[in-house]
Chain A
Amino acid sequence: MLKEKVGPESSASQISTAALLLQHEVEQFYYKESLLLDRHEFNDWFDLLDKDIRYFMPLRTNRTRRDQKLEYSKDGEYAHFDDDLVMMRGRQRKLMSDVGWSESPASRTRHIIANVIINDASDDQEVHVTSSFILYRNRLERQVDIFAGERMDVLRRSDNKLGFMIAKRTIHIDQSTILSNNLSIFF
C-alpha cells in the first residue's frame, strides 16, 4: 500500500487515495499518541517506543548566518536528550515512581501536533514524517511553560492499537536557553 511515492512534491491532481489514507492514519496516530501523554497514560506511551528507538533533542545555539550549519549540536555532542530504549525505560520508572518529585504532582500538558508532512513512505514498513508541535505545560499552583518545535519521526508499522511504533524521534526545540526549570515531560 505504501509503495508508491507520496510526499510534499506530489501535485494535487496526482494525490492517490493511498496517500490520503496514509496521511489520515499518521495524523490519527499522532492525536492518539498525544492523548496518552496528556491523559498521563504513560505506560501505554512508552510501549509505543520501538526496541531501536533514538529519542533525540539536540542543543540549539545562536549562530551567524555564515555559521548556520553549527546551529544544532551533532551526534557525539551534548544534547537535551539522546536516549535509547533502556534509558527511556528508566525515565518511565522515574515517572511512575512514588518519589519522582518533578512529576508528582504531575504536570498538566497539551500536545498540539500540526503541519504533518509525510516525507518518505517508499518502504512499506516505515514512514518518515515531519510535524510541528506546541506543547503547553501547566504545573503546581501557577507554573506555565510553552514549548514549540519540530519533530522528525520514523514511524514503523505495527499491529498495536495505534497502528505504528516510534522508531526514531528527533526534536528540534525552538529555544536556545531552555526557559523552564526542567524537561520532565515528553515531546
Chain B
Amino acid sequence: MISRKVTNMTTAKTKTRLNIGHEPKAFEKKNVWNVEEITALLDEENGTLDPRIYSDQDLYELEQERVFGRSWIMLGHEAHVPKAGDFLTAYMGEDPVILVRQKDRSLKVFLNQCPHRGMRICRTDGGNAKSFTCSYHGWAYDIGGNLVNVPYESEAFCEDFNKAEWGPGQARVETYKGLIFANWDKNAPNLREYLGDATFYMDHMLDRTEAGTEVISGMQKWVIPCNWKFAAEQFCSDMYHAGTVSHLSGIEAGLPEGMELSDAKIPTVGYQFRAKWGGHGTGFYVGEPGMLVAIMGPKIAKYWTEGEAAARAERRLGSAERARQLMVQHMTVFPTCSFLPGINTVRTWQPRGPNETEIWAFTVVDADAPDEIKEEYRRQTLRTFSAGGVFEQDDGENWVEIQAVLRGHQARKRRLNIQMGKGRSAADNPHYPGSIGYVYNEEAARGLYHQWIRMMTEPDWDTLGPK
C-alpha cells in the first residue's frame, strides 16, 4: 500500500488552537506499530487476520486518533433534537460531545469539555438548553458552543484573554436522511462522498417514504466487554451466524402461535455488498418473509412487504425486490454506525478500551407509518435487538467469550480465518452497486479491515480519500 515510515513523521505545529483542528498531514501520536506491521494485520490475499487487532492497547490508542478522529461518526437522529436548544450528549470514540439544534435549524457538535480546566461541560443525557454552564468555575457557553461568560473576567483575567478563542473544539456535522454524523477532520471528504455507494443500501431503511423517518424516543445503552470491531464487523458482514446457529433460540422465541422453527425457513438466496471505498458493508436475503415474521412478527412483516407503505417504498426505491423482498438486512457504515433495515434498530458502537464497547441503540420508523405500526416496531425491537433482546443476548455471549480467550498468548498468536467468499465477489451486478457476492461471505469484513488499516497508516486524505 504505502511504505513510508510513520516514525519519521513530525507533529504538525499550528497556531490554530481551537476550531476544527490541525492539518493532518502527519499523525500526532507516536506509534509503536510501524506501517508494515499494521498493514500485515490483514492478509486479504490469503484471508487471514491477526487477532491482536481486537486486543492490543497500543493499536487502540492509535485508533482514537486515526480512525475516530477522522471518520464520520453517527450521533443520533434529527428527530432526537427537533427544537432549537434541544441537545444530546454523545461520543466520538472516547471523546464526549454535545450535539445541539441551533435557532437556524442547523446542528452543532462540540467537545463536551471546558477548555479552562478540562471539566465536562454538560453532565446529563439530553434535554433543552439556553446555554451550558460548566459546574466547576462557571464558564458559560451558548448553544453554539461559544464562550459567552467568564465569572470575574475583568477583575481576575488578563489582557490577552480572548473569550472568542476559548470555546470547545467544533466538529463538522452533516446528515444523511435523518441520521446525524460528525467528523473532527476538516480535510475528510464530505459525508455523501464518504458514504459513496453505501447510500443505495441505507435508503432501504431511511427513504421508503417522502416523509422520511422519525425515532422511537429513548436511547438504550449497555456495556459489552469486547472490542468494538466484533460488533461493527458482524453487522457489516456476518449473515452466516444468523443463518447457522447463533440466533436459533431467538427465532424460537418469536414464532407466532402454530408456527414451528422449521416453518421459519432460512432463505438460501441473498447477497453481500462491499463498498468500493470506505469499509461499509451490508448483506441480505432475497425472498420469503418467513424470517422477518419470526423476528418482528406478522404485523411488521406485512407492513414491510405488502400494502400501501410497501407499494410507496417500491415506487421510491424503483424496485419491488429492494422494497419488499430484502430480508433481515444487516449493515455497517464504517466504523461504528450499524443498523438493520426492516427491523429498524440503529446503533453506534462506542469504543471503551480494547476490551469494552458501549452500545447506544435506538429505533427508527417511517414518519408517516400508522401509530399501530410505530408501536409494534417499538415493542418488537426491544424484544429482539436490545440488552434484553432475544437475538442480541446471544451476540453479547459470543463477543465476550472471544475477547476473554484473546487474553491468551497462543490465542493471539494464531491468525484467524477470514477466507469466506474470497475471490468470488464482483462489481458487475446489474441491480446492486459495489462489489457483490453471496450472502454468506466475509468480503465486506475484509473491506472493513482494509479501510481500518488504510486509516491507521495513511495520514493524508490525498491518498486515502475516495477516488
The chain A residues found within 8 Å of chain B, CB to CB, are 57, 59, 61-64, 67, 70, 73-74, 76-83, 86-87, 90-91, 93-94, 97, 99-103, 140-141, 143, 176-184
Cross-chain contact A176 with B221 (CB below 8 angstroms): yes
| B306 contact set on A, CB distance < 8 A | none
Segment 379-435 of B: residues with Cβ below 8 Å from A: 379, 382-383, 386-388, 390, 392-394, 396-401, 404
**Across the two chains, which residue of chain B brings its CB closest to A98?**
B249
**Across the two chains, which residue of chain A brings its CB closest to B128?**
A67
CA distance A182 to B391 in the complex (A): 11
| A184 contact set on B, CB distance < 8 A | 388, 393
| B220 contact set on A, CB distance < 8 A | 59, 78, 80, 178
CA distance A6 to B221 in the complex (A): 39
Cross-chain contact A102 with B223 (CB below 8 angstroms): no
| B358 contact set on A, CB distance < 8 A | 177
CA distance A173 to B379 in the complex (A): 19
B168 interfacial contact with A, CB 8 Å: no
Majority secondary structure of chain A interface residues (helix, strand, loop or mixed): loop
Interface size class of B (residues with CB under 8 A): 35 or more
Known: A181-B400, A182-B222. 13 other contacts (CB 8 A): A61-B124, A63-B127, A76-B378, A77-B218, A78-B216, A78-B218, A80-B388, A81-B382, A91-B253, A97-B249, A101-B246, A102-B397, A178-B221
Cross-chain contact B383 with A90 (CB below 8 angstroms): yes
**Across the two chains, which residue of chain B brings its CB closest to A64?**
B124
Closest chain-B Cβ to A64's Cβ sits at a distance in Å of 6
A-B pairs, top 8 by smallest CB distance, nearest first, are: A78-B218, A183-B388, A100-B249, A90-B253, A178-B222, A102-B393, A181-B396, A94-B253
Closest chain-B Cβ to A95's Cβ sits at a distance in Å of 8
Q: Which residue of B221, B257, B379, B387 contacts A87 across the interface (Cβ within 8 Å)? A: B379
B1 interfacial contact with A, CB 8 Å: no
| A100 contact set on B, CB distance < 8 A | 249, 252, 394
Cross-chain contact B375 with A76 (CB below 8 angstroms): yes
For the A-B complex, the count of residue pairs with Cβ-Cβ distances under 8 Å equals 133
| B401 contact set on A, CB distance < 8 A | 140
Cross-chain contact B396 with A94 (CB below 8 angstroms): no
**Across the two chains, which residue of chain A brings its CB closest to B380?**
A87
| A83 contact set on B, CB distance < 8 A | 379, 383
Cross-chain contact A181 with B225 (CB below 8 angstroms): yes
With A78-B363, A94-B253, A94-B390 known to touch, is A67 a contact of B124 (CB < 8 Å)? yes
Cross-chain contact B397 with A182 (CB below 8 angstroms): yes
**Across the two chains, which residue of chain B brings its CB closest to A80?**
B388
**Across the two chains, which residue of chain A brings its CB closest to B89?**
A62
Cross-chain contact B362 with A78 (CB below 8 angstroms): yes
Cross-chain contact B388 with A81 (CB below 8 angstroms): yes
Q: Which of B216, B390, B401 has the most CB of A within 10 A?
A: B390
Residue-wise interface mask of B (115-129) relative to A, using a CB-CB cutoff of 8 A (1 in contact, 0 not): 000000001111100
With A180-B223, A181-B223 known to touch, is A102 a contact of B127 (CB < 8 Å)? no
CA distance A83 to B383 in the complex (A): 7
| B255 contact set on A, CB distance < 8 A | 90, 93
**Across the two chains, which residue of chain B brings its CB closest to A66?**
B127
CA distance A102 to B279 in the complex (A): 30
| B378 contact set on A, CB distance < 8 A | 76-78, 82
Q: Which residue of A70, A82, A90, A176 contacts B390 across the interface (Cβ within 8 Å)? A: A90
